[in-house]
Amino acid sequence: MSVVKRKTRWASRLGGILAAITPSVVLAAPQTFNTALPIAEDSFVLREQLLYRHATSAQRDLDVTGAITVLGYGLTSDIALFGAIPYLDKTLDGGRRERSGQGFGDVRLFARYTAFKDNAPGRTFRIAPFFGVETPTGDDDERDRFGRLPQPLQSGSGSWDPFGGVILTYQTLAYQLDAQVAYQANTEANGFEFGDKVRLDGAFQYRLWPRELGGGLPAFLYGALEANLIHHGKNEVNGIKDDHSGGTQLFLSPGLQYVTSRWVIEGTVQLPVAQDLNGTALEDDVVTRIGFRINF
């Protein structure tokens, strides 16, 4: 194997980790994935989420900090359009040298359709499929003094990557359940192709305060527990699968949300409780997310 190929292969081992940061979170209840709750017609929801992620493997440390901005728009009460853009700063400390890249990443555009809803007093059940594409808007040719950054450290992938899935939400005044299954088919760019991603997510939120509802429109404090089962396929470098990339991870995420009619503040810590990764792929240590949402 050539030196160039070895370097590229080594870099590809970061791939699954960085791809997991991709903002699948959108507007509503869960903090690590989407919900089927509606956006009112001709209304917007803005979500800002600050992110910190740390991952390690033998003699390598990866730190990712940044922000994910999501804007949702209610085209009708059943059709919502979303745009999401991350700004990430990624630093990889390989022991002998440190490399980093930062900038706006790939914009994700998608639509969600409420295919089924059952509204009843104090509760709602909804099923909403969604479909979209991750566009190659981020810079995919960043360089440092060592040359072009490895693809996973680039802000952009350079590729058009379609994704889709379905979300189920059951919400009552006391608690909320969300579940999602999603798939992203990554395509090739710059001789590199991230492995496809499939994920299964679940979330349970429970109203901690106020314990009793005394009329009016009080703010709610929710305690939340989310679970994310994420599988990444192996990356491909120049058409050859990298046996040191991809794998399966299970995260559990306790969190809190303070919800008013106009805004939400929230935070969660994603803890990897099981990781079955290929070869020497980087393992997550922790992912922390804090943020807010605004209705307008």
Q: What's the closest the beta carbon of residue 173 comes to other proteins, in angstroms? A: 5
Q: Which is nearer to other proteins, 126 or 197 (CB)?
A: 126
Q: The tokens of 131 are what?
A: 């479909």
In terms of CB distance, is 42 or 285 closer to other proteins? 42
Residue closer to other proteins, measured from CB, 286 or 294:
294
Q: In the bound complex, what is the minimum distance in angstroms from residue 269's beta carbon to other proteins?
A: 22
Closer Cβ to other proteins, 155 or 171, answer by number: 171
Nearer to other proteins, 37 or 51 (CB): 37
Cis bond before residue 210 (omega within 30° of 0): yes
CB of 180 to other proteins, least distance (A): 18
Contact residues for other proteins, defined by CB under 8 A? 28-29, 37-43, 74, 76-78, 114, 117, 119-124, 171-173, 176, 213-220, 259-262, 264, 293, 295
The answer to whether the CB of 19 falls within 8 A of the CB of 13 is: no
What is the closest distance, in whole angstroms, from the C-beta atom of residue 203 to other proteins in the complex? 14
Smaller CB distance to other proteins: residue 19 or 224?
224
Residue 112: strand pairing partners: 80, 130
- Closest CB 114 distance from other proteins, rounded Å: 7
Closer residue to other proteins (CB): 37 or 149: 37
Closest contact distance (angstroms) between CB of 221 and other proteins is 11
From the CB of 113, what's the least distance to other proteins, in Å? Answer: 12
Question: Whole-angstrom Cα distance, residue 70 to residue 141?
Answer: 25
